[in-house]
Amino acid sequence: MRKKLYLLAAFAIFLLAISLVLSTTSQQIHAEITDDLGRAVSIEKKPERIVSLAPSCTEILYALGLGDKVVGVTTYCDYPPEALSVTKVGGPANVDVEKVISLQPDLVLASTITPPETIERLEELGVPVIVLDPKTIDDVYHDIELVGKATGKEAEAGELILSMKLKISQVEQKVSAQQTKVRVLYICWLEPIYASGSNTFVNDAIAKAGGENVFAEKQGWIVVSPESVVAKNPDVIVFTSMMEFSYEDAIAKIESMPGWSEVNAVKSGRVYVITGSAASMIERPGPRIADGVEMLAKIFYPEVFGVEMPKHITG
């Protein structure tokens, strides 16, 4: 009987030891990351306390199931709704470094809006910082993969990327039969007029939704004149704003632009104002960009999807 009890006790100790080893191993990750600025970042253990300094980074973290690890976000991080209750550390461009440090993070995710001196200060204090700067949807996939590697969520990142690619592929297939592409003006500001050129993830979204960006010959986000828009004569105008902006004010401003009453989009009533979380779905380079592509495709080709999108889309 004593021998049996001894064996059971020994077996229990063995199981406990294995459990401890597995637990320790699960915390070890040692990932060598090269972020979007080409900086080498070493992650020595699986992060347990993460601070996000950009809304898109926050969305990636939550989409990977890391919401319970997020201890700090910016005042602009409003999606998913759970992020609203997380401790705020300032805005993306004016981070309260002392507040960040007080949260004892073992990983910080940032964007290029974050001042370089903020990143340097955090790293001087021993906090690894990964900077994301996607320019295309493929870059968004890469960044999701990067965050997955840094946090031990590689499998989840792969599944998320696959689901995004599948949705976008389905949209591309539906619009591929269109003989003539809809010509699109995409703007996010009216005074001055701030439009998307190429080499932006928004331009990529327009292309995947079957549209043609009228300012694709320009690089990045550009200021354009009312006269240049008249010359381009877009079929559809998409105005997005994550700020407080009424639909009526936006339409009145757009229709009053010099010469725009003769632009195809205005004449045919194909001016769309997108605000709130619907706007952030397109403007943030995160997981919801796939939903943004689908929304744009429905705006461009309502007959293909059998749906008439409202002129004011919000969330």
Could you report the per-residue pLDDT of 82-116, keeping only the tens digit for each? 999 999 999 999 999 999 999 999 999 999 999 99
Whether 223 shows a pLDDT value over 80: the answer reads yes
Preceding peptide of 47 cis, ω within 30°: no
Q: In this predicted structure, what is the pLDDT of residue 19?
A: 45
Q: How far is CA 170 from the centre of its chain?
A: 20
Number of alpha helices (DSSP H) and beta strands (DSSP E) in the chain: 13, 15
Joined tokens for residue 232: 């381009």
Alpha carbons 70 and 113: distance in angstroms, whole number: 20
What ranges in the chain are assigned the alpha helix state H? 2-27, 55-63, 97-102, 116-124, 137-151, 154-175, 201-208, 226-232, 247-255, 264-267, 276-283, 289-300, 302-305
User: What is the tens place of the pLDDT at every residue in 50-83?
Assistant: 999 999 999 999 999 999 999 999 999 999 999 9
Tell which residue, 308, 311, 297, has the closest CA to residue 265.
311
Q: In this predicted structure, what is the pLDDT of residue 198?
A: 94
pLDDT grade, residue 241 (50/70/90)?
Answer: confident
Q: In this predicted structure, what is the pLDDT of residue 12?
A: 45
Q: In this predicted structure, what is the pLDDT of residue 30?
A: 74
Query: 178-313, superfamily in CATH?
Result: Nitrogenase molybdenum iron protein domain (3.40.50.1980)
CB 228 within 8 A of CB 218: no
Question: How much of the chain exceeds pLDDT 70, in percent?
Answer: 90
Rounded to an integer, the average pLDDT of 163-181 is 96
**Better-scored residue on pLDDT, 231 or 5:** 231
Q: What CATH number should be reported for the domain whose range is 30-159?
A: 3.40.50.1980
Q: In this predicted structure, what is the pLDDT of residue 243?
A: 67
Report how far apart, in Å, the C-alpha atoms of 188 and of each of 147, 171, 202, 243, 274 are: 28, 24, 11, 10, 9
State the first-to-last Cα distance of the chain, in angstroms, to the nearest integer.
69
Domain with CATH 3.40.50.1980 in the chain: 30-159, 178-313
How many CB atoms lie under 10 A from the CB of residue 188?
A: 20
CB 103 within 8 A of CB 71: yes
Whether 228 shows a pLDDT value over 80: the answer reads yes
Alpha carbons 294 and 287: distance in angstroms, whole number: 13
Tell which residue, 271, 277, 288, 266, has the closest CA to residue 315.
277
Rounded to an integer, the average pLDDT of 208-226 is 97
Whether 6 shows a pLDDT value over 80: the answer reads no
Average pLDDT of the chain is: 91
Alpha carbons 203 and 215: distance in angstroms, whole number: 9
Alpha carbons 122 and 120: distance in angstroms, whole number: 6
User: What is the tens place of the pLDDT at every residue in 246-279?
Assistant: 888 899 999 999 999 999 999 999 999 999 999 9
Q: In this predicted structure, what is the pLDDT of residue 238?
A: 98
